[in-house]
Structure 1
Amino acid sequence: MARLVIRDFVVLKSWLDAAGQAELIEALRPVLKAVPPFHPTTPSGKAMSVRMTSAGRLGWLSDKAGYRYEAQHPKGMGWPEIPEPILRLWDQVTGLDRRPDSCLINYYGEGARMGLHQDKDEADFSWPVVSVSLGDDGLFRMGNPTRGGKTESIWLSSGDVVVMGGAARLAYHGVDRIRFKSSRLLPRGGRLNLTLRVVE
Protein backbone atom coordinates (compact mmCIF):
# COMPACT_ATOMS: atom_id res chain seq x y z
CA MET A 1 0.00 0.00 0.00
CA ALA A 2 1.24 3.51 -0.83
CA ARG A 3 0.08 6.72 0.86
CA LEU A 4 0.06 9.78 -1.38
CA VAL A 5 -0.92 13.32 -0.43
CA ILE A 6 -2.03 15.47 -3.37
CA ARG A 7 -3.49 18.92 -2.62
CA ASP A 8 -4.37 17.63 0.88
CA PHE A 9 -6.28 14.68 -0.62
CA VAL A 10 -4.89 11.56 1.10
CA VAL A 11 -4.81 8.74 -1.46
CA LEU A 12 -4.34 5.25 -0.01
CA LYS A 13 -3.38 3.12 -3.00
CA SER A 14 -4.32 -0.59 -2.76
CA TRP A 15 -5.79 -0.15 0.73
CA LEU A 16 -8.12 -3.09 0.07
CA ASP A 17 -6.68 -6.35 -1.22
CA ALA A 18 -8.69 -8.69 -3.45
CA ALA A 19 -10.38 -10.38 -0.48
CA GLY A 20 -11.29 -7.03 1.06
CA GLN A 21 -12.79 -5.80 -2.19
CA ALA A 22 -14.83 -8.99 -2.60
CA GLU A 23 -16.09 -8.64 0.98
CA LEU A 24 -17.41 -5.15 0.28
CA ILE A 25 -19.11 -6.27 -2.95
CA GLU A 26 -20.89 -9.09 -1.10
CA ALA A 27 -21.93 -6.69 1.67
CA LEU A 28 -23.36 -4.28 -0.94
CA ARG A 29 -25.47 -6.84 -2.80
CA PRO A 30 -28.48 -6.73 -0.41
CA VAL A 31 -28.28 -2.93 -0.28
CA LEU A 32 -28.40 -2.60 -4.06
CA LYS A 33 -31.30 -5.06 -4.20
CA ALA A 34 -33.31 -3.23 -1.51
CA VAL A 35 -32.74 0.29 -2.87
CA PRO A 36 -31.90 -0.01 -6.60
CA PRO A 37 -29.61 2.62 -8.11
CA PHE A 38 -31.34 5.32 -10.15
CA HIS A 39 -30.33 8.17 -12.46
CA PRO A 40 -30.72 11.43 -10.50
CA THR A 41 -31.27 14.74 -12.25
CA THR A 42 -29.63 18.06 -11.53
CA PRO A 43 -31.81 20.99 -10.37
CA SER A 44 -31.78 22.20 -13.99
CA GLY A 45 -33.37 18.91 -15.06
CA LYS A 46 -30.35 17.26 -16.69
CA ALA A 47 -29.94 13.54 -16.01
CA MET A 48 -26.61 12.51 -14.47
CA SER A 49 -24.61 9.81 -16.25
CA VAL A 50 -24.01 7.90 -13.00
CA ARG A 51 -26.60 5.82 -11.22
CA MET A 52 -26.75 6.15 -7.45
CA THR A 53 -28.31 4.95 -4.25
CA SER A 54 -27.42 5.15 -0.55
CA ALA A 55 -27.15 3.34 2.76
CA GLY A 56 -27.33 4.78 6.27
CA ARG A 57 -29.73 7.03 8.15
CA LEU A 58 -29.77 9.47 5.25
CA GLY A 59 -29.28 9.29 1.50
CA TRP A 60 -28.19 12.04 -0.86
CA LEU A 61 -30.65 13.09 -3.57
CA SER A 62 -30.67 15.52 -6.47
CA ASP A 63 -33.69 16.63 -8.50
CA LYS A 64 -35.51 19.81 -9.49
CA ALA A 65 -35.99 20.57 -5.77
CA GLY A 66 -32.20 20.78 -5.30
CA TYR A 67 -29.37 18.87 -3.62
CA ARG A 68 -30.17 17.45 -0.19
CA TYR A 69 -30.23 14.46 2.16
CA GLU A 70 -33.44 12.53 2.71
CA ALA A 71 -34.47 9.60 4.91
CA GLN A 72 -36.01 7.67 2.00
CA HIS A 73 -35.24 6.41 -1.51
CA PRO A 74 -37.25 8.26 -4.21
CA LYS A 75 -39.57 5.21 -4.37
CA GLY A 76 -40.35 5.55 -0.67
CA MET A 77 -38.17 2.84 0.89
CA GLY A 78 -35.97 3.62 3.86
CA TRP A 79 -32.23 3.28 3.31
CA PRO A 80 -30.60 0.07 4.59
CA GLU A 81 -27.94 0.30 7.28
CA ILE A 82 -24.36 0.85 6.15
CA PRO A 83 -22.76 -2.62 6.03
CA GLU A 84 -20.35 -3.28 8.88
CA PRO A 85 -17.28 -3.99 6.65
CA ILE A 86 -17.68 -0.48 5.18
CA LEU A 87 -17.95 1.06 8.64
CA ARG A 88 -14.82 -0.80 9.73
CA LEU A 89 -12.96 0.69 6.77
CA TRP A 90 -14.05 4.18 7.91
CA ASP A 91 -12.78 3.40 11.42
CA GLN A 92 -9.42 2.24 10.07
CA VAL A 93 -8.68 5.17 7.76
CA THR A 94 -10.04 7.99 9.95
CA GLY A 95 -9.39 6.80 13.51
CA LEU A 96 -12.60 8.57 14.54
CA ASP A 97 -15.19 7.42 17.08
CA ARG A 98 -17.95 9.17 15.11
CA ARG A 99 -19.29 7.00 12.32
CA PRO A 100 -20.86 8.27 9.07
CA ASP A 101 -24.57 8.93 8.66
CA SER A 102 -24.57 8.21 4.94
CA CYS A 103 -22.85 6.04 2.36
CA LEU A 104 -23.52 7.30 -1.15
CA ILE A 105 -23.09 4.54 -3.75
CA ASN A 106 -22.35 5.72 -7.30
CA TYR A 107 -22.20 3.32 -10.24
CA TYR A 108 -20.21 4.43 -13.29
CA GLY A 109 -21.05 2.47 -16.42
CA GLU A 110 -19.36 2.88 -19.78
CA GLY A 111 -19.08 6.59 -20.63
CA ALA A 112 -20.19 7.82 -17.18
CA ARG A 113 -18.42 10.70 -15.48
CA MET A 114 -18.83 13.16 -12.62
CA GLY A 115 -18.09 16.85 -13.17
CA LEU A 116 -16.08 18.93 -10.74
CA HIS A 117 -18.15 19.59 -7.61
CA GLN A 118 -17.91 20.23 -3.88
CA ASP A 119 -19.41 18.02 -1.16
CA LYS A 120 -21.12 20.78 0.80
CA ASP A 121 -24.60 19.59 1.77
CA GLU A 122 -23.43 18.46 5.21
CA ALA A 123 -23.81 20.46 8.43
CA ASP A 124 -20.22 20.28 9.70
CA PHE A 125 -17.23 20.32 7.34
CA SER A 126 -14.75 19.40 10.06
CA TRP A 127 -15.52 15.71 9.43
CA PRO A 128 -13.74 14.08 6.47
CA VAL A 129 -15.35 12.42 3.48
CA VAL A 130 -13.99 8.95 2.68
CA SER A 131 -14.17 7.67 -0.91
CA VAL A 132 -13.71 3.99 -1.85
CA SER A 133 -13.10 2.76 -5.41
CA LEU A 134 -14.30 -0.70 -6.50
CA GLY A 135 -14.14 -2.08 -10.02
CA ASP A 136 -12.88 -0.24 -13.09
CA ASP A 137 -10.18 2.44 -12.94
CA GLY A 138 -11.42 6.03 -12.66
CA LEU A 139 -9.54 9.23 -13.52
CA PHE A 140 -9.99 11.33 -10.38
CA ARG A 141 -9.51 15.10 -10.77
CA MET A 142 -8.62 17.29 -7.80
CA GLY A 143 -9.15 21.06 -7.89
CA ASN A 144 -9.32 24.03 -5.57
CA PRO A 145 -11.72 25.37 -2.91
CA THR A 146 -13.02 27.78 -5.58
CA ARG A 147 -13.83 27.09 -9.22
CA GLY A 148 -11.07 27.46 -11.77
CA GLY A 149 -7.31 27.26 -11.56
CA LYS A 150 -5.01 24.34 -12.11
CA THR A 151 -6.07 20.81 -11.26
CA GLU A 152 -4.29 17.48 -10.82
CA SER A 153 -5.50 14.02 -11.75
CA ILE A 154 -4.72 10.46 -10.68
CA TRP A 155 -6.04 7.09 -11.80
CA LEU A 156 -7.83 5.35 -8.95
CA SER A 157 -7.93 1.56 -9.09
CA SER A 158 -10.10 -0.98 -7.34
CA GLY A 159 -9.25 -1.03 -3.64
CA ASP A 160 -7.97 2.56 -3.51
CA VAL A 161 -9.33 4.86 -0.79
CA VAL A 162 -9.26 8.67 -0.71
CA VAL A 163 -9.69 10.66 2.50
CA MET A 164 -10.85 14.24 1.97
CA GLY A 165 -10.29 16.31 5.09
CA GLY A 166 -8.74 19.63 6.00
CA ALA A 167 -8.21 21.83 2.95
CA ALA A 168 -9.41 19.03 0.67
CA ARG A 169 -12.79 18.79 2.39
CA LEU A 170 -14.36 21.56 0.28
CA ALA A 171 -12.08 21.29 -2.73
CA TYR A 172 -13.65 20.69 -6.12
CA HIS A 173 -13.19 17.14 -7.40
CA GLY A 174 -14.68 14.80 -9.97
CA VAL A 175 -14.20 11.75 -12.20
CA ASP A 176 -13.40 12.53 -15.84
CA ARG A 177 -13.82 9.00 -17.18
CA ILE A 178 -13.38 5.33 -16.41
CA ARG A 179 -11.44 2.58 -18.15
CA PHE A 180 -14.44 0.36 -18.83
CA LYS A 181 -13.80 -3.33 -18.04
CA SER A 182 -10.29 -2.65 -16.76
CA SER A 183 -11.23 -4.68 -13.66
CA ARG A 184 -12.84 -8.10 -13.26
CA LEU A 185 -14.40 -7.29 -9.89
CA LEU A 186 -17.81 -6.45 -11.36
CA PRO A 187 -18.90 -9.12 -13.87
CA ARG A 188 -20.55 -6.59 -16.19
CA GLY A 189 -17.82 -3.99 -15.81
CA GLY A 190 -18.10 -0.50 -14.38
CA ARG A 191 -16.99 1.26 -11.24
CA LEU A 192 -18.64 1.52 -7.84
CA ASN A 193 -17.64 4.51 -5.76
CA LEU A 194 -18.65 4.71 -2.10
CA THR A 195 -18.49 8.03 -0.28
CA LEU A 196 -18.93 7.99 3.48
CA ARG A 197 -20.13 11.20 5.07
CA VAL A 198 -21.05 12.63 8.46
CA VAL A 199 -24.16 14.63 7.61
CA GLU A 200 -25.35 16.11 10.92
Structure 2
Amino acid sequence: MAPGAVHLPDWLGPRRQRELLAACREWARPPAGLRTVRTPGGGTMTARQVCLGLHWYPYAYARTAVDGDGAPVKPMPGWLAELGRRAVTAAYGTPPPPSEAYDIALVNFYDGDSRMGMHRDAEERSGAPVVSLSLGDSCLFRFGNTASRGRPYRDVELRSGDLFVFGGPSRLAYHGVPRVLPGTAPPGLGLTGRLNITLRVGGLGA
Protein backbone atom coordinates (compact mmCIF):
# COMPACT_ATOMS: atom_id res chain seq x y z
CA MET A 1 0.00 0.00 0.00
CA ALA A 2 2.80 2.40 0.98
CA PRO A 3 6.28 2.18 2.55
CA GLY A 4 5.75 0.37 5.86
CA ALA A 5 2.06 -0.38 5.15
CA VAL A 6 1.26 -4.03 4.38
CA HIS A 7 -2.10 -5.71 3.65
CA LEU A 8 -2.25 -9.49 4.13
CA PRO A 9 -5.67 -10.88 3.09
CA ASP A 10 -7.08 -13.95 4.87
CA TRP A 11 -4.38 -13.95 7.54
CA LEU A 12 -6.79 -15.22 10.18
CA GLY A 13 -8.42 -18.56 9.45
CA PRO A 14 -12.09 -19.29 10.24
CA ARG A 15 -11.38 -20.91 13.64
CA ARG A 16 -9.14 -18.05 14.78
CA GLN A 17 -11.78 -15.55 13.68
CA ARG A 18 -14.42 -17.31 15.78
CA GLU A 19 -12.08 -17.36 18.79
CA LEU A 20 -11.40 -13.63 18.46
CA LEU A 21 -15.10 -12.88 18.08
CA ALA A 22 -15.89 -14.82 21.28
CA ALA A 23 -13.16 -12.87 23.11
CA CYS A 24 -14.50 -9.54 21.81
CA ARG A 25 -17.97 -10.37 23.10
CA GLU A 26 -16.54 -11.01 26.56
CA TRP A 27 -14.51 -7.78 26.50
CA ALA A 28 -17.61 -5.83 25.46
CA ARG A 29 -19.42 -6.72 28.71
CA PRO A 30 -19.36 -4.25 31.60
CA PRO A 31 -17.53 -3.09 33.58
CA ALA A 32 -15.39 -0.96 31.23
CA GLY A 33 -17.32 -2.48 28.33
CA LEU A 34 -18.40 -1.33 24.90
CA ARG A 35 -19.19 2.36 24.86
CA THR A 36 -20.01 5.29 22.60
CA VAL A 37 -17.04 7.64 22.24
CA ARG A 38 -17.77 11.34 22.53
CA THR A 39 -15.44 13.91 20.99
CA PRO A 40 -14.38 17.16 22.72
CA GLY A 41 -16.58 19.13 20.32
CA GLY A 42 -19.71 17.35 21.52
CA GLY A 43 -20.07 14.88 18.67
CA THR A 44 -20.11 11.10 18.90
CA MET A 45 -18.24 8.44 16.97
CA THR A 46 -20.58 6.07 15.13
CA ALA A 47 -18.30 3.09 15.80
CA ARG A 48 -18.52 1.92 19.43
CA GLN A 49 -15.37 0.91 21.28
CA VAL A 50 -13.89 -1.13 24.12
CA CYS A 51 -10.23 -0.92 25.20
CA LEU A 52 -7.73 -3.31 26.74
CA GLY A 53 -4.50 -2.48 28.56
CA LEU A 54 -5.11 1.26 28.53
CA HIS A 55 -8.31 3.17 27.86
CA TRP A 56 -8.22 5.51 24.85
CA TYR A 57 -10.40 8.60 24.83
CA PRO A 58 -10.09 11.71 22.64
CA TYR A 59 -7.14 12.28 22.71
CA ALA A 60 -5.25 10.53 25.49
CA TYR A 61 -4.96 7.29 27.49
CA ALA A 62 -6.09 6.44 31.02
CA ARG A 63 -6.10 3.45 33.38
CA THR A 64 -9.87 3.66 33.82
CA ALA A 65 -12.84 4.15 31.49
CA VAL A 66 -12.89 7.88 32.22
CA ASP A 67 -15.53 8.62 29.57
CA GLY A 68 -17.55 5.49 30.38
CA ASP A 69 -18.41 3.87 33.70
CA GLY A 70 -15.09 4.79 35.33
CA ALA A 71 -14.11 1.16 35.93
CA PRO A 72 -10.51 -0.04 35.58
CA VAL A 73 -9.69 -1.01 32.02
CA LYS A 74 -9.51 -4.72 31.25
CA PRO A 75 -5.98 -6.15 30.99
CA MET A 76 -4.26 -6.83 27.69
CA PRO A 77 -4.11 -10.64 27.30
CA GLY A 78 -0.65 -12.07 26.70
CA TRP A 79 -1.91 -14.18 23.79
CA LEU A 80 -3.26 -11.07 22.06
CA ALA A 81 0.06 -9.25 22.53
CA GLU A 82 1.82 -12.26 21.01
CA LEU A 83 -0.61 -12.22 18.09
CA GLY A 84 0.49 -8.63 17.45
CA ARG A 85 4.13 -9.70 17.30
CA ARG A 86 3.26 -12.55 14.93
CA ALA A 87 1.37 -10.12 12.73
CA VAL A 88 4.36 -7.78 12.44
CA THR A 89 6.61 -10.74 11.63
CA ALA A 90 4.22 -11.88 8.91
CA ALA A 91 4.00 -8.39 7.42
CA TYR A 92 7.68 -7.46 7.46
CA GLY A 93 9.45 -10.81 7.44
CA THR A 94 11.33 -10.15 10.69
CA PRO A 95 10.07 -10.13 14.30
CA PRO A 96 9.82 -6.85 16.19
CA PRO A 97 12.43 -6.19 18.89
CA PRO A 98 11.59 -7.48 22.39
CA SER A 99 11.10 -3.90 23.57
CA GLU A 100 8.06 -3.56 21.33
CA ALA A 101 5.51 -5.36 23.51
CA TYR A 102 1.93 -4.80 22.41
CA ASP A 103 0.12 -3.50 25.47
CA ILE A 104 -2.97 -1.70 24.11
CA ALA A 105 -5.93 -2.96 22.10
CA LEU A 106 -8.79 -0.86 20.74
CA VAL A 107 -11.77 -2.91 19.59
CA ASN A 108 -14.19 -0.95 17.39
CA PHE A 109 -17.63 -2.25 16.44
CA TYR A 110 -19.19 -0.90 13.23
CA ASP A 111 -22.79 -1.51 12.29
CA GLY A 112 -23.92 -0.96 8.71
CA ASP A 113 -24.13 2.83 9.06
CA SER A 114 -20.90 3.39 11.00
CA ARG A 115 -17.97 5.36 9.67
CA MET A 116 -14.55 6.46 10.90
CA GLY A 117 -13.17 9.79 9.77
CA MET A 118 -9.59 10.29 8.66
CA HIS A 119 -7.34 10.36 11.71
CA ARG A 120 -3.86 9.44 12.95
CA ASP A 121 -2.95 7.10 15.80
CA ALA A 122 -0.73 9.66 17.49
CA GLU A 123 -1.29 9.34 21.24
CA GLU A 124 1.37 6.65 21.67
CA ARG A 125 5.00 7.45 22.43
CA SER A 126 6.24 4.33 20.66
CA GLY A 127 6.83 4.23 16.92
CA ALA A 128 6.09 0.49 16.78
CA PRO A 129 3.79 -0.58 13.94
CA VAL A 130 0.03 -0.56 14.40
CA VAL A 131 -1.63 -3.95 13.82
CA SER A 132 -5.20 -4.02 12.52
CA LEU A 133 -7.35 -7.18 12.35
CA SER A 134 -10.77 -7.32 10.68
CA LEU A 135 -13.74 -9.53 11.56
CA GLY A 136 -17.24 -9.67 10.06
CA ASP A 137 -18.48 -7.37 7.34
CA SER A 138 -16.01 -6.00 4.81
CA CYS A 139 -15.25 -2.29 4.74
CA LEU A 140 -13.72 0.31 2.49
CA PHE A 141 -10.47 1.29 4.24
CA ARG A 142 -8.84 4.56 3.18
CA PHE A 143 -5.11 4.86 3.79
CA GLY A 144 -3.65 8.30 3.25
CA ASN A 145 -0.51 10.34 3.77
CA THR A 146 1.21 11.76 6.85
CA ALA A 147 0.69 15.45 6.01
CA SER A 148 -3.10 15.89 5.78
CA ARG A 149 -6.46 14.16 5.73
CA GLY A 150 -6.79 14.80 2.00
CA ARG A 151 -5.23 13.25 -1.06
CA PRO A 152 -3.17 11.36 -1.90
CA TYR A 153 -4.81 8.29 -0.41
CA ARG A 154 -5.62 4.76 -1.49
CA ASP A 155 -8.73 2.70 -0.86
CA VAL A 156 -8.68 -1.02 -0.19
CA GLU A 157 -11.43 -3.46 0.78
CA LEU A 158 -10.68 -5.16 4.10
CA ARG A 159 -12.49 -8.46 4.57
CA SER A 160 -12.97 -10.72 7.57
CA GLY A 161 -9.64 -12.29 8.52
CA ASP A 162 -7.51 -9.62 6.84
CA LEU A 163 -4.42 -8.16 8.49
CA PHE A 164 -3.21 -4.61 7.92
CA VAL A 165 0.04 -3.38 9.48
CA PHE A 166 1.43 0.13 9.21
CA GLY A 167 4.69 1.37 10.66
CA GLY A 168 7.94 3.07 9.69
CA PRO A 169 7.29 5.96 7.25
CA SER A 170 3.54 5.20 7.36
CA ARG A 171 3.16 4.98 11.15
CA LEU A 172 1.47 8.39 11.40
CA ALA A 173 -0.47 8.23 8.14
CA TYR A 174 -4.06 9.40 8.19
CA HIS A 175 -6.57 6.60 7.70
CA GLY A 176 -10.29 5.98 8.04
CA VAL A 177 -13.31 3.87 7.12
CA PRO A 178 -15.68 5.69 4.73
CA ARG A 179 -18.06 2.76 4.38
CA VAL A 180 -19.00 -0.65 5.75
CA LEU A 181 -20.41 -3.23 3.33
CA PRO A 182 -23.36 -4.86 5.17
CA GLY A 183 -24.09 -8.54 4.65
CA THR A 184 -20.55 -9.45 3.58
CA ALA A 185 -19.45 -11.29 6.76
CA PRO A 186 -18.65 -15.00 6.43
CA PRO A 187 -21.92 -16.90 7.01
CA GLY A 188 -20.38 -19.22 9.58
CA LEU A 189 -18.90 -16.48 11.76
CA GLY A 190 -22.14 -15.37 13.40
CA LEU A 191 -21.45 -11.62 13.32
CA THR A 192 -23.63 -8.86 11.91
CA GLY A 193 -21.47 -5.79 11.47
CA ARG A 194 -17.71 -5.32 11.57
CA LEU A 195 -15.16 -5.64 14.37
CA ASN A 196 -11.73 -4.07 14.05
CA ILE A 197 -9.07 -5.01 16.61
CA THR A 198 -6.23 -2.51 16.63
CA LEU A 199 -3.08 -3.42 18.57
CA ARG A 200 -0.56 -0.77 19.62
CA VAL A 201 2.60 -0.32 21.67
CA GLY A 202 1.99 2.62 23.98
CA GLY A 203 5.51 3.35 25.20
CA LEU A 204 3.82 5.23 28.03
CA GLY A 205 5.58 3.59 30.97
CA ALA A 206 3.87 3.03 34.30
TM-score, normalization: structure 2?
A: 0.86
Residue of structure 2 aligned with 1:69, choices 61, 71, 75 = 61
Per the TM alignment, residue 83 of structure 1 is displaced from its structure 2 partner at its CA by 3.2
CA distance in 2, matches of 1:134, 1:86: 15
How big is the shift at 1:7? Answer: 4.9
Residues 21-49 of structure 1: per-residue CA shift (max 9 Å, x gap)? 01111222321113321111111111111
Tell me how large the CA RMSD over aligned residues is.
1.6
May I ask how many residue pairs the two structures share in their alignment? 190
Deviations 1:64-105 (A, max 9, x none): xxx111111121111212234422321212223232221001
Q: Is the 8 A contact 1:28 1:83 kept in 2?
A: no
Deviations 1:88-123 (CA, angstroms, capped at 9, x unpaired): 321212223232221001100111010111110111
Which deviates more, 93-102 or 108-117? 93-102
Q: Percent identity?
A: 37
Q: Provide the residue aligned with 1:82 in structure 2.
A: 76
What's 2:44 paired with?
47
The normalised TM-score by structure 1 is 0.88
Write out aligned runs for 1:125-144 (5 A). 126-144=127-145
| Structure 1 match to 2:92 | none
Partner of 1:179: 181
Task: Kindly indicate which of the two structures has a greater share of residues assigned to strand.
Answer: 1
Matching of residues 1-200 of structure 1 within 5 Å: 5-34=1-30, 35-56=32-53, 58-62=54-58, 67-73=59-65, 74-94=68-88, 95-96=95-96, 97=98, 98-124=100-126, 126-147=127-148, 148-183=150-185, 184=187, 187=190, 189-199=192-202, 200=204
2:129–2:166 contact (8 Å) kept in structure 1: yes
Rounded Cα–Cα distance in structure 2 between residues aligned with 1:108 and 1:132: 13
The C-alpha deviation readout for 1:137-193, integer Å capped at 9, x for no partner, is 011001110112221100000111111101110011001111112113664511011
Partners of 2:48 and 2:199 lie apart in 1 by 17
Structure 1, unmatched stretches of 5+, are none
Q: Structure 1 CA distance, aligned partners of 2:42 and 2:63? A: 22
